[in-house]
Structure 1
Amino acid sequence: MPELPEVESLAAFLRTHASGHVIARAEAASFAVLKTFDPPLSALTGLTIGDITRHGKFLDLSCGDLHLVMHLARAGWLRWRDDIPDKPVKPGKSPLAFRLVLDNGSGFDLTEAGTQKRLAVYLVRDPMLVPGVATLGPEPLADDFTVESLAAILKERRMQIKGVLRDQHIIAGIGNAYSDEVLHAAKMSPFKLASSFTPEETATLHEAIVTTLREAVDRSAGLAAADLKGEKKTGLRVHAKTGQPCPVCGDTIREVSFADSSLQYCPTCQTGGKSLADRRMSRLLK
């Protein structure tokens, strides 16, 4: 799933390649992808793309008085094309979900692998009309995301810290991969209760959040959209590295599996050498 660093890099890529261009056409290739109906997609034709921003994991293309807001979900991606065929897209079973064509013939496709179609496109007059955007928590790379604001988030929240970091209503932009990376950098168990954090631990977690995300954004800076997935995979230390040695201590990276996801961690760095129970229970194996 694209998370804050990848979406930030996609926004930067599109600012270079799409901002200032006129939209020739916008087409939905999937009946499920377009979540709004007023205004219609045809309203984009002839509009000039202005600034391109990010809200959590949402991309926001400003087009005149309208905003084209996109969420790539778990299996979606943006594929830039320098030359898009003139032939209109047809709804079908292909991975193609949405296409935007610019005045010079270039543009991008939104594609989604798998059978669970969650990729979403919204055309709105205000991005706050998108439910997922309106309910986002604070941006972790914003200046006002301080140690004190993080402490207020954690206080009295009896949730595992892994869940807090992944919840977009609590903190925007961090998903399964970077929550693993943040907790490894902070040397904290993913099952630690948020309400149990001391001031010192909160400061350590804040530093890990900001540093991990900024480093990932910096690594992706200037890359083409097609190269971002590979860079993310290369830059991860523990996520999706089950069975490999921890790059810090050399211990074997372990995994906890759930119904539709998994987390990875280093026992030596994060849990005092103990293995976490590989089930939904939030306790350590005795």
Structure 2
Amino acid sequence: MDLKSMYNPVARDLAAVEANFIGLADKWQTEFPELHDMLRHTLTGGKILRPALTFLAGRCLDDKTDRILNMATANELLHISTLIHDDAIDHADTRRGKLTVNNIWGLEKAILLGDFLFARAGEFAAATDNLRTVKMFSNTLQTIAVGELRQARDVFSPRQSREGYFQRISGKTASLLRMSTESGAVLADGTEEQIQALSDFGYNLGLAFQIVDDILDFTGTEKELGKPVGSDLRQGTITLPALLLMEQQPEDNPVKDFLEGKDRENSIIRVINIIKSTGLIDESYALAVTYSEIALALLDTLPPSVYRETLKKLTSYLIRRRV
């Protein structure tokens, strides 16, 4: 089963999110054609995972389509805006095989477009008329920003640690998936226990999702990833497989050699080969599975429904994906 068919129970809801995106872009078609082109380029072709999680979480409990639609749109716009800023900071030319905004329109316009989408995301969050979700949105944006600052502080530092890694992915990935599921539960008027269960589900799914992403950065191909293999390490950020290598080989360590600028191309080739040929991938994957099992157990506290089962299938799919 592919991702699109897995979204079937909320397909109409997701179509409404995409209609919001088209409307956001087409509003500028006459007044500001370049902005229209930038938005069309940016707001099409994504996984729309976060809106799917928002709708599925909400529908596990009740059916408040209008308010959930606004928050689902806000969640995805916030995610997209962070990707645009990430690509600008990293000077990335492509993402998932698609040219980045900064590649086509330049760094300055990319950063400003990210800011524009932050603002529009906030507007959609406010349209829920729910103060709790607005505060959630603000707190999540702050958490993401702190995660980005931590990453910027530690870039190319050999002192990066496992603790720092989990702080970073908690801030950059898990916090946004947590908001996606928690906000859906809040807008569906769930009990505090249900809201907490779905919040913790999103958080643990986010940790598992990011660990798998970091594994694929070493095991995938450039064609599959749409970027060079070992891309994070090339940018000076050490992810879990490389951290485990540093822990297990503190003396003769190609990760440290790379960070210190010692024959970087050969060093990164060594890192990739060692990670792929030892048990480091399995060890990393075991941690991802642990977090996914915590997430699945939290779902068992919710009433049975097609939406709960879809969240379970989606969790398993995201852990086993290739891209």
Larger strand proportion, structure 1 or 2? 1
- Relative to the length of structure 1, the TM-score reads 0.28
- Relative to the length of structure 2, the TM-score reads 0.26
Looking at both structures, which has the greater relative contact order when contacts are Cα pairs under 8 Å and sequence separation is at least 6? 2
